[in-house]
Structure 1
């Protein structure tokens, strides 16, 4: 069996399947790991073409009293219903163009790009509920036990945005933060905030819990007829940081895409000669603090950001260009050479940008404005009074993705440990789980021959006192041909990366998914 076997339609398991536990699951782990990603890759004779497009499947790993259970459910979105009714793909997605069924034209116009409801990327918690989210204006409230959609909420009814990012941030008090975009003649990046009202009406799906929505700040995109691709952003205790990368949706191409039989992906334009812009905004006042510039790069995922000695430290996984997108065409992922395609592709590396919060206007041209010790990153004053930032590569040569930290205690604060998925590289390494010590640059690894892990999710020990007191949970597909149980959940000691336990499930495999969260019963 090869990696290509993971990118195929999979059956749902609506009734919990009990796992066979090897080892001992710590007694303090009580809760559910929810995961989100593609589940249905074809409808009738039509097939999705890009990894971001297939119909969503939700997963739940429920752990309680040393036992583990697994279940999954296909999201019965309006997109799903329209496709199934037509027995073919009639709703275009990011990289898949669909010729609409004649009976579905009105529906398709309604579900135009950035308005689709196939929320297959991530989850976020709000008002004691969990919501599935993608890159659109819709979110689905999800039943935490059955994984059914309890209906969808149109965020644009509460904040004036056309889309939201797939990576919302949330505070200990339940406040949710996100970035969105406003399209039209003057496209903007918008920073939005939803505060808990305590008046969530669970019998209604009108979205009343989002009525507290507020646009904190707006920043015009640098292109009048285009906008940057924004998948995530960073947040410190006092600031938002968003990267306007020179990977732009061309609005003119997007407008003509249906007429020309093209997708939103085809309207993305990579502009290597254009500098990336790092916008910093006050969370409290909405004031734009500064915009910093950097040599062109692409970012999907931020790791963390924090403030230190008058600077904002931003850690992210940066790419030299956008050629990684080519690796996500399903024709590549489902080929026998898929691992080699990953190895040949420019991969994300751990970058650190350091942004001086207050720029000394008296500083001379060419001066490095970073004043605290221990950083190799630079922030150079230029002749036109802009600040050009150069990154420090924390761990050179490692292809990394899907970063996770001890989010509850360290998001937006100075941290030390990062957990990531290591991608295949030219040294022969395949997919694996890594722990990176930001201070010492030490890397610990968990890997097993023939096994393909998903994003590691950190679960803190409620009695722990140190940053890495806890475990990592990762769903593993074992692709070895001679293995009966090919799907298991691994539980690793987050300090040592040594295995504590695993739970085997008698199912063919897990879907290849994107992101998830752990909701504890201890809180």
Structure 2
């Protein structure tokens, strides 16, 4: 199958929504595996008769894989949002790279007597907050949904008054305490990152705020037992362009300024104090694999790039010409920060192959760990799966001809003793078959245990979570 055809499959609008469709299973699923993998990502790429500009701008569609008793059932459903209604009328609500257009945006400013309401196209991730399930994006408008049917339940609203113009879609749950931590960005004369914590009942409290320089575009962060660590890369947001009506999307406001270096903001989770703020050589990162504390140091493991090329290589025009080959490969690095000395004491690479969309077993998040799982990216004509042993700096990889594996999720076996005792679940696009498939691997060996073909090809998505049956 040609690269163009593969591109079309992975970025083609889905026309049909399936409800509780039982999938054929080839192989055997572990008897203990029971729960629901819910993923988020774009499902449609048109605004009226026009294609969106960037992969990040497709209209949100949830997909659910319910696993129980050796069977898999599949549901997919678009979020019913204002952004989707705007798109049906041929107008954009203002996305990452696809703006509403200068004239239309100016009219929206005048009608709103200020900045218009941000998009509610929550297409990045999902989370459980208290007893509610929400679809998340980087705009501060998340959408609640029913986890069983994926039906939209309206906009999710915090009631605490914590402000913010942007927010992370990568909130992190501490497995020790059950607390979830996140952050937002507030523009203004003195931009700030605002950190918050959410308790098990879904109540949010402010941790504190720290000054933002630039401010930087910060997609994800690291969480340890005592600290939150923000990586403020030199990809800065031109706040002025963010505040004028003729700007397009967020992509149009980003500027790479390597002379600034990369700030590592270490924030105390209890007091909100900025305890360290060292600067290292310029890098860009979307995602942090994990973070923890060891011998008084803070250890952070991000997937890094030399610059911001990765952001601009994911426009649909570039992907249509070069596919994913135009995107640089991410590298797994380890940074050790000494908070007392306010310095990075070591920076080393832990995996030389390309990788993206990392995950670790739930039980080791915020703690010292050994294994990370990710999409492997440095082979033409496929995306694979990689398991990295960080103690030995070695890796096990799995590849399939014409298979484009998406973000993996590692699920540990209940009462298992080893860190890698469990399975890895990942959807993939089978380019030769012209449809998607759910893959389930043994987490220890990466041997394929089972596959469940879908009735259609699902566009390449972003992130998701596995919610075990309780």
Above 0.5 in TM-score? Answer: yes
Q: Runs of 5+ in structure 2 lacking a partner? A: none
Listed as ranges, the matches of 1:341-356 within 5 Å are 341-342=326-327, 345=328, 347-356=329-338
Q: For residue 58 of structure 1, give the secondary structure of its aligned residue in structure 2.
A: strand
Out of 357, 372, 378, the position equivalent to 1:402 is 357
Is residue 435 of structure 2 the alignment partner of residue 516 of structure 1?
A: no
Q: Secondary structure at the match of 2:300?
A: strand
C-alpha deviation, 1:72, in angstroms: 0.3
Q: Is the 8 A contact 1:235 1:306 kept in 2?
A: yes
Q: Distance in 2 between matches of 1:35 and 1:70?
A: 11
Cα separation, 2, equivalents of 1:113 and 1:122: 24
Report the equivalent of 1:53.
Answer: 57
Look up the SS of the partner of 1:503 in the other structure. strand
Q: Deviations over 1:300-345 (max 9, x none)?
A: 000001111111111010111001112101011123x314323xx3
Tell me, in whole angstroms, the C-alpha distance in 1 between the residues paired with 2:445 and 2:92. 48
CA contact under 8 A between 2:94 and 2:248: conserved in structure 1?
A: no
Shift of 1:4: 0.7
Distance apart, 1:107 and its partner CA: 11
> Is 1:443–2:389 an aligned residue pair?
no
In structure 2, what is the Cα distance between the partners aligned to 1:133 and 1:108?
A: 27
How many angstroms apart in 1 are the aligned matches of 2:72 and 2:231?
A: 39
Please give the per-residue CA displacement for 1:178-225, whole angstroms capped at 9, x wherever unaligned.
Answer: 01111112110111112133xxxxxxxxxxx4xx322212111124xx
Tell me what 1:368 maps to.
Answer: none
Distance 1:252 1:339, change over 3 A: closer
Does the alignment pair 1:291 with 2:277? yes
Whichever of the two has the greater Rg, that structure is 1
Secondary structure at 1:228 match in 2: coil
**1:488 aligns with one of 437, 445, 466:** 437
2:169 paired residue number: 166
Q: Secondary structure at the match of 2:25?
A: strand
CA distance in 2, matches of 1:42, 1:469: 42
Q: What is the CA deviation profile of residues 54-95 of structure 1, one whole-angstrom value per residue up to 9, with x for unaligned ones?
A: 1100000011111101110011111112222x2x13312110
Deviation at 1:413, TM superposition (A): 0.1
Aligned partner (choices 426, 429, 435) of residue 474 of structure 1: 426
Q: 2:81 aligns with which of 77, 81, 86?
A: 77
Question: What's the Cα RMSD here?
Answer: 2.2
In structure 2, C-alpha distance between the alignment counterparts of 1:174 and 1:514, rounded to whole Å: 24
Aligned equivalents of 2:381 and 2:393: distance in 1?
19
Q: State the match for 2:373 in structure 1.
A: 419
Pairs within 5 Å for 1:82-231: 82-84=86-88, 86=89, 88-99=90-101, 105=108, 115-155=118-158, 158-172=161-175, 173-197=177-201, 209=202, 212-223=203-214, 227-231=215-219
* 1:387 aligns to 2:343 (yes or no): yes
Cα distance, 1:475 vs. partner? 0.6
Structure 1 stretches of 4+ moved >6 Å: 100-104
Aligned with 2:446: secondary structure?
coil
Task: Determine if contact 1:94/1:113 at 8 Å carries over to the other structure.
Answer: no
CA deviation after TM superposition for structure 1 residue 429, in Å: 7.1
Contact 1:161 1:190 in 2 (8 A): yes
Q: Does structure 2 retain, via aligned residues, the 8 Å contact 1:293–1:389?
A: no
Q: Residue 269 of structure 1 corresponds to which residue in structure 2?
A: 255
Deviation at 1:104, TM superposition (A): 8.4
Cα distance in structure 2, aligned partners of 1:441 and 1:390: 16
Q: 1:474 to 1:113 in 2, by over 3 A?
A: farther
